[in-house]
Structure 1
Amino acid sequence: MAFNRPAQSTSFAPDGTRTLDIAPGTDEGPWEEWNPTEDSVRPVRGRHRVAKQRGGGLARSSTVLGVGVMAAVGAGGLATAQSGKPPVSISLPDLSSVTDSAKALIGDDSGAPKSSATPLSSVGRTDATGSKDAGEALRARIMQQAESQQQRIARAAAQAAEDAAVKKAAAAAAKAQDDAQAKAAAEKKKAEEAARLAELAKQFTLPTSSYTLTSRFGDAGAMWSSGYHTGLDFAAPTGTLIKAVHSGTITEAGWAGSYGYRTILTLDDGTELWFCHQSSISVTVGQKVGTGDVIGRVGATGNVTGPHLHLEVHPNGGAAIDPMAWLQSKGLNP
């Protein structure tokens, strides 16, 4: 960096005149003493001519400035001497101190900036205590947010558990109500069926009394031509009364081979009831009978091993079915 040169020293001649020493190598001078007069210091009116600056850079400008300052100082001294006014003091800054300050801020000759132990500003500076306080505050906020989030999660879980419990209780109550209604409906249906069977029982009756059930429907054995028993046997002494199970019409009465003496009672719905192995028959074909009417007596005719009533049930005159189930469906329990 270039700096202004110091002002040239002023020398005084023995006769009291003052001259300026010009640095060698410059093209100014020689200079003579300038005695300002009223005409010479009067401002020039009109166009001002500006001298074109020559090359020489900051050093040449500093020289010219120094010469101008010295000339002004001389002119002021002379004007003071002529006017009798006290001289005006002109002070110039100490360039050396300014230069040192500039070097301290900018750097040395190598171009590297000098660091200063004293910071230029305290803006943005946080000491250890401030950093610790800020960190603690941030940590406290994070912990508070985490705790708040945990509380929200806990409340949501508790609400979900409560909702699930309420839903489960409601489902259990609904199921209990449905079960109760289903049970009530079943009991009602059972009661209705019992009432119906009781009413049917008034219309139906067992074929005989003082009996013992021996062979049941489906029992296997070589004594039956089909290989299994096709009816229900009521063992009773010979001569025991045989009654009509329900009202109907006698469609057959007589000898039937292995069945012995047989009577067939056809009900109004087409179901045929076969009464076999009778010792005697008390009705004729085409006769109408009612529930409980005597139609014959227990015997041991046909293919038998002892006196009993062999009862078969043929819905619509078809294949035989289990007489036990049919009698139970009519409200009877053999």
Structure 2
Amino acid sequence: MASNRPAQPTSFAPNDTQTFGYAYGKDEGPWEEWNPTADSVRPVRGRHRVSKQRGGGLARSSTVLGVGVIAAVGAGGMATAAPGKPPVSISLPDLSSVTDSAKALISDDGGSSAPKGSATPLTSAGLTSADASEGNQDAGEALRARIIQQAESQQDQVDKAAQAAAQAAAAKKAADQAAKAEEAAEAKAAAAKEKAEQEAKEKAEAARLAELAKSFALPTSSYTLTSTFGQAGSLWSSGYHTGLDFAAPTGTPIKAVHSGTITEAGWSGSYGYRTILTLDDGTELWYAHQSSIGVSVGQKVNTGDVIGRVGATGNVTGAHLHLEVHAGGSATGIDPMAWLRSKGLTP
């Protein structure tokens, strides 16, 4: 080992034959004082066992062990000097705290006696300026804080999305309900309007028919309806009834339903005595089975004028007026009941 530089003289110097109470022989000492330095103390090269890190402790290495040994030797006082040279005192700082710390951190069995749960951070690697400004001194705690913050942020986004979806669904539901209510109101208003229009139309038609009825009259009075239009039976040569029968006593007056012109008056086979009244619109009214005729062909008559008498002539089973209506002079008649009602009359 290389020799050290001479130490400065001290206030005390033991004799040549004694160093710290040790007497050396004739052929021994005095030895040169060993003052360890960074150059003289070198770590042993090669593979070293590194203990497993436990809790908050540090990894043990031979370098740390060497420092502990040096501290222990230095704390013991002064080393002996080489023979022939005066002993030199060694003044070293108090390394007891370092030694105690090393002993506490490192044990021979590779374990660590450092207390678990130490508040001292393992490392500051990975800490950002933002973490430091928030008071985080431990990289693990800083990472944990960032993870929690990110999770809270993501949960907040999920909550906001759910709230927005709920609000959108509520708005859509309200809009649908409003649309349905509006449609129902419109339908109700339309129905009410249609009903009002229908009622107004019916009222106007009733007024028109009432006014029209003033110019029309039923063909006879004190009657009973016996056979209606279209009624089937063997009594009629066509197989069905072609008019409307007003049963009344013989001699009951027969009236002109509306003003017009007499176009036929006389005997007509199965109709017996028949009178045809042609209205201004071309409609023909046939009065059959009369007991007598009171008008002549070409005569103008007005509504309510007597044109004959009820009888039982022709193909009949009793006294009655057989009335037929032929629109536009057609050979085929129409329902006299419907025609009379269209003129405001109710047989």
- Fold equivalence (TM over 0.5): yes
In structure 1, distance between residues paired with 2:202 and 2:334: 24
Instruction: State the shift of 1:116 in Å.
Output: 9.2
8 Å Cα contact 2:124/2:139 also seen in 1: no
Q: How many residues align?
A: 238
Q: Distance in 1 between matches of 2:197 and 2:338?
A: 24
TM-score, normalised via structure 2 length? 0.63
TM superposition score normalised by structure 1: 0.65
Q: What is the SS of the residue equivalent to 2:214?
A: helix
Mapped to 2, the partners of 1:190 and 1:213 lie a distance apart of: 27
Q: Measured at CA, do residues 253 and 96 of structure 1 come closer, stay the same or move farther in structure 2, by a change above 3 Å?
A: same
Segment of structure 1 superposing worse, 162-171 or 129-138: 129-138
Fraction of identical pairs, as percent:
60
Deviation at 1:139, TM superposition (A): 2.9
Q: Which residue of 1 aligns with 2:277?
A: 265
Deviation at 1:133, TM superposition (A): 3.8
Q: 1:277 aligns with which of 289, 294, 305?
A: 289
After TM superposition, the structure 1 = structure 2 runs for residues 8-157 of structure 1, keeping only pairs within 5 Å, are 94=39, 97=42, 108=46, 118=58, 122-124=124-126, 129-157=141-169
Q: Matched residues in 2 for 1:307 and 1:113: separation? A: 144
Deviation at 1:134, TM superposition (A): 3.7
Aligned 8 A contact 2:222 2:248 in 1: yes
Do the aligned partners of residues 116 and 298 (structure 1) sit closer, same or farther apart at CA in structure 2, a change above 3 Å counting? Answer: same
Is 2:126–2:139's contact at 8 Å kept on the other side of the alignment?
no
Q: Which residue of structure 1 aligns with residue 334 of structure 2? A: 321
Deviations 1:133-161 (A, max 9, x none): 44433332232222222211111111111
Query: If each structure's helix is expressed as a fraction of its own residues, which one has the higher value?
Result: 1
Question: 1:148 & 1:121 partners in 2: Cα distance?
Answer: 38
Partner in structure 2 of residue 224 of structure 1: 236
* Aligned ranges 1:243-254 → 2 under 5 Å: 243-254=255-266
With over 3 angstroms needed to count, the CA separation of the structure-2 counterparts of 1:144 and 1:121, relative to structure 1, is closer
Question: Among 268, 290, 312, which residue is 1:300 paired with?
Answer: 312
Q: Secondary structure at the match of 1:204?
A: coil
Mapped partners of 1:280, 1:121: distance in 2 = 138
Cα drift, residue 96 of structure 1: 6.2
Q: Which residue of 2 aligns with 1:67?
A: none
Across the aligned residues of Structure 1 and Structure 2, the Cα RMSD in angstroms comes to 2.8
Q: For 2:161 and 2:123, how far apart are their aligned partners in 1?
A: 42
SS, match of residue 333 in structure 1: coil
Structure 1: tracts of 5 or more residues without a match: 1-5, 8-91
Cα deviation, 1:7-33, whole Å, max 9, x if unaligned, reads 9xxxxxxxxxxxxxxxxxxxxxxxxxx
Highest Rg: 1 or 2? Answer: 1
Tell me the alpha carbon deviations over residues 202-245 of structure 1, each in whole angstroms, 9 at most, x when there is no partner. Answer: 01000000000000001000010100000000000000000000
Contact 2:216 2:303 (8 Å CA) reproduced = yes
Of 191, 199, 205, the residue aligned with 2:217 is 205
Distance between the aligned counterparts of 1:158 and 1:167, measured in 2? 14
Runs of 4+ in 1 over 6 A off after TM superposition: 112-116
* CA deviation profile, 1:15-71 (whole Å, cap 9, x unmatched): xxxxxxxxxxxxxxxxxxxxxxxxxxxxxxxxxxxxxxxxxxxxxxxxxxxxxxxxx
2:253 alignment partner AA: L
Matched position secondary structure for 2:206: helix
1:156-195 matches, cutoff 5 A:
156-195=168-207
The one-character-per-residue Cα deviations of 1:159-199 (angstroms, maximum 9, x if unpaired) are 11111122112112211221121111111111110111011
